[in-house]
């Protein structure tokens, strides 16, 4: 019975959201490093640059000293990093990305930092984890594929252990570095940040202010706080409630380091690994709370802006007639309804004849193009004009408004609109909407 519980504990899918988030952030940081150092790559990483690189035996860059070979490997590394970030061929791209980035990392010499060090170790363990379950190109394929239960158990065990290895590594980072801080005289006397803030190659101009005036004493407090937060981390992450507090503290601590010491990627890496500390249930719980808060804010805003909306927003009300037998239209309407923060648009299915009884609208025209009716002046518009009116009322789509006006002005707006509208599918095979079922895909005009 105990053995079953142990197997259940280690094979339960827990951290797949965290590993997926970490994959994306690591991928972006790796891409950033590749791109930002692109112009300096020969100076920093080749024997034509400022240093000489012996044969380490573990870097792809050691195979040849040719600059062309270096450039090929570097550019392939970028492509691999893009695939890794997008989650294409999860395990394979994870392995390749590790090989390519590690090959470059061991040539970092003087330009590397603790963040790079932690990321390389974490990337190695992530090879054994499932990092593409969420937010990836593979997620849909993955969800459809059903693994054999036993194989699933083994991969879940490997996944969970790889996460445990990374979490343990992060704890070691904080515990060990805090212990070294305690051993140092400037850290124990609270003056370490005062001295670091004077080092021009390590400090931003903002940070230099810690060495002047009364801010000196803030520096003393922050010096001690940095040690305290690191030690507290190891003890507080094991409790659900204290975990959120300490992770927030650690994030603020690293944001501070990022801004003051200009260690941007270091800070981002240290913050990113915190993503592994939360289980899938906790992420879903955050998401639900966030949604509930969003609804509450929306309700609050609606209540307090009721008078305003009655006076002003009524003039902007719009009725949109959509095709209730078109899958694309149904999905679009559903998405647009979520974005219609002020409730300005009413969507009406023109297939339901009762909806258009009182309007002077022609069913054939409605089938060809989406129509809209302005409540204020009963003005009817269609095609790209309707779509423009929609985007004007939906804030997240404002960026499309000038593009749509331009397309209309160029005379291509309705051409493109008609091209898409004519090719829309009406009620997909084996799907029924409003009790209407078709046996084959039907195109407009069929």
Partner 1 sequence: MRKICLLTIALLTITFVIHYSLILMHAAPTNPISAKYNNLSSTYTSTIFSQNWHLFAPDPINRNVHIYIQVTDDTSKDTNNHWIDMTRHFIKNNNDKVITPYNRTIRLIDGIFADTVGSNYTSDLITKYVNKNDEDDDPVVDMLTEHKKSSQEKGEYSLYRLASSYIRSFMSDKYISMKYLRVRLTVYETVPFSKRNDKNYERKIEYNKTFNWKEISEVSQMY
Best CA proximity match to 339, nearest among 286, 283, 383, 399: 399
Hey, which residues between 8 and 37 contact partner 1 (CB under 8 A)?
10-11, 36-37
How many residues bind partner 1 (CB under 8 A)? The answer is 70
* Residue 400, CB-side half-sphere exposure with 13 Å CA sphere: 15
Of the two residues 32 and 135, which places its CB atom closer to partner 1 in the complex? 32
User: How distant, in Å, are the alpha carbons of 21, 44, 73, 139 from that of 133?
Assistant: 10, 36, 29, 5
Q: How far is the CB of 84 from partner 1 (least distance, A)?
A: 17
Best CA proximity match to 114, nearest among 52, 180, 57, 62: 180
- Stretch binding partner 1 (CB under 8 A), from 5-13, 20-28, 77-85, 408-416: 5-13
Of the two residues 120 and 328, which places its CB atom closer to partner 1 in the complex? 120
> Contact between 256 and partner 1 (CB under 8 A)?
no
DSSP state letters, 271-288: HHGGGGGS-HHHHHHHHH
List the x/- string, 290-329, binding to partner 1 by CB under 8 A: ----------------------------------------
Alpha carbon distance 42, 337 (integer Å)? 52
DSSP state letters, 398-425: TTHHHHHHHHHHHT-HHHHHHHHHHTPE
Q: Quick one: which of 63, 76, 79, 154 contacts partner 1 (CB under 8 A)?
A: 154
Of the two residues 32 and 405, which places its CB atom closer to partner 1 in the complex? 32
Hey, which residues between 184 and 203 contact partner 1 (CB under 8 A)?
184-187, 191-192, 194-196, 198-202
What does the radius of gyration of the chain's CA atoms come to, in whole angstroms? 29
Joined together, the tokens standing for residue 389 give 């009116």
Q: Rounded to an integer, what is the distance from CA 443 to the centroid of its chain?
A: 37
Alpha carbon distance 176, 123 (integer Å)? 21
Joined together, the tokens standing for residue 311 give 């006076």
Q: How far is the CB of 185 from partner 1 (least distance, A)?
A: 7
- Stretch binding partner 1 (CB under 8 A), from 19-27, 45-53, 300-308, 384-392: 45-53
- In the complex, the residues that contact partner 1 under the rule CB under 8 A are 3-4, 6-7, 10-11, 36-37, 39-40, 42-44, 46, 48-52, 58, 102, 109-111, 113-114, 117-118, 120-121, 124, 150, 153-154, 157-158, 161, 164-165, 168-169, 172-173, 176-177, 179-181, 183-187, 191-192, 194-196, 198-202, 204-205, 211-212, 216, 262, 264
């Amino acid at each position: 019975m105990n053995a079953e519980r142990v197997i259940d504990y280690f094979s339960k899918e827990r951290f797949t959201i965290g590993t997926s988030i970490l994959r994306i952030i690591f991928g972006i940081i790796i891409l950033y490093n590749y791109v930002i150092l692109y112009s300096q790559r020969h100076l920093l990483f080749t024997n034509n640059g400022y240093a000489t690189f012996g044969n380490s035996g573990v870097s792809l860059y050691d195979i040849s000293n040719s600059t062309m070979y270096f450039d090929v490997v570097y550019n392939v590394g970028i492509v691999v990093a893009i695939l890794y970030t997008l989650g294409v061929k999860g395990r394979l791209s994870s392995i390749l990305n590790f090989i390519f980035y590690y090959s470059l990392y061991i040539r970092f010499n003087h330009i590397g930092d603790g963040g790079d060090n932690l990321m390389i170790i974490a990337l190695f363990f992530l090879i054994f984890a499932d990092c593409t379950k969420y937010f990836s190109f593979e997620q849909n394929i993955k969800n459809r594929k059903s693994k054999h239960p036993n194989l699933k158990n083994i991969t879940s065990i490997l996944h969970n252990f790889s996460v445990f290895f990374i979490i343990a590594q992060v704890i070691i980072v904080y515990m060990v570095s805090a212990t070294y801080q305690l051993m140092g005289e400037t850290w124990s006397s609270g003056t370490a940040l005062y001295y670091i803030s004077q080092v021009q190659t390590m400090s931003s101009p903002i940070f230099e202010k810690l060495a002047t005036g009364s801010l000196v004493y803030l520096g003393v407090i922050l010096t001690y706080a940095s040690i305290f937060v690191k030690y507290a981390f190891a003890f507080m992450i094991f409790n659900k409630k204290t975990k959120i507090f300490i992770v927030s503290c650690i994030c603020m601590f690293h944001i501070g380091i990022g801004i003051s010491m200009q260690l941007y990627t270091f800070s981002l890496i240290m913050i990113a690994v915190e993503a592994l500390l939360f289980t899938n249930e906790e992420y879903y719980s955050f998401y639900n709370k966030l949604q509930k808060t969003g609804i509450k804010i929306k309700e609050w805003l609606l209540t307090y802006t009721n008078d305003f909306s009655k006076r002003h927003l009524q003039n902007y009300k719009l009725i949109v007639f959509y095709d209730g037998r078109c899958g694309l239209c149904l999905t679009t309407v559903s998405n647009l309804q979520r974005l219609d923060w002020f409730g300005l648009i009413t969507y009406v299915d023109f297939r339901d004849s009762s909806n258009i009884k009182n309007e002077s609208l022609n069913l054939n025209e409605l089938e060809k193009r989406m129509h809209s009716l302005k409540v204020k002046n009963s003005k009817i518009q269609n095609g790209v004009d309707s779509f423009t009116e929609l985007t004007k009322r939906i804030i997240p789509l404002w960026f499309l408004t000038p593009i749509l006006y331009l397309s209309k002005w160029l005379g291509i707006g309705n051409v493109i609109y008609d091209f898409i509208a004519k090719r829309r599918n009406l009620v997909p095979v084996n799907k029924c909407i409003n009790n209407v079922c078709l046996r084959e895909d039907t195109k407009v005009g069929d």
